[in-house]
């Protein structure tokens, strides 16, 4: 069990075209694709930064978690994702430590990853995603 790298920093955005202008057109980051995650009510846009990514999150409705985030806090950093080995082992360890996770088990995420979120109440105010490539 180990954390391999920062997978991505997710930015909640009200305007993915403006994000494209900044990240791809101005900063020259490589756009690696987008993906709709219907379960979460979002479309994700990934921009490569070395071994990590910036993930721009577009809410598909105001009722989605990201939609509610945008209403409450406005655009900005939504979460930090860490790619790990043995996600299931981390889930057990988090539960044993009394850390609040936001789903009963890892769920499918974007780009072929299994994911689980650690609630900000347990992390000093930062939403943290743990992710692992699906086998």
Query: Could you tell me where the beta strands, DSSP code E, fall in 86-127?
Result: 107-108, 113-118
- Domain containing 59 equals 2-133
Q: Which DSSP symbol is given to 101? A: B
pLDDT tens digits, 67-93:
999 999 999 999 999 999 999 999 999
pLDDT digits (tens, 9 = 90+) for 37-61: 998 999 999 999 999 999 999 999 9
**Alpha-carbon span 41 to 120, nearest angstrom:** 20
Number of structural domains, the chain?
A: 1
CATH number of the domain that residue 96 is part of: 3.10.180.10
Q: Which residues pair with 81 in a beta bridge?
A: 8, 129
- Whole-structure pTM over 0.85, yes or no? yes
């Amino acid at each position: 069990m180990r954390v391999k790298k920062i997978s991505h920093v997710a930015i909640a955005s009200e305007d993915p075209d403006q994000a494209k202008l900044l990240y791809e057109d101005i900063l020259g980051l490589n756009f690696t694709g987008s993906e709709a995650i219907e379960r979460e009510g979002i479309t994700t846009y990934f921009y490569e930064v070395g071994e990590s990514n910036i993930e721009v999150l577009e809410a598909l409705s105001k009722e989605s978690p990201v939609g509610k985030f945008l209403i409450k806090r406005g655009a900005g950093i939504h979460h930090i994702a860490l790619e790990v080995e043995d996600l299931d082992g981390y889930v057990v360890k988090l539960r044993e430590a009394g850390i609040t996770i936001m789903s009963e088990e890892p769920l499918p995420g974007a780009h072929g990853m299994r994911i689980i979120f650690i609630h900000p109440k347990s992390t000093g105010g930062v939403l943290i995603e743990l992710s692992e490539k699906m086998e």
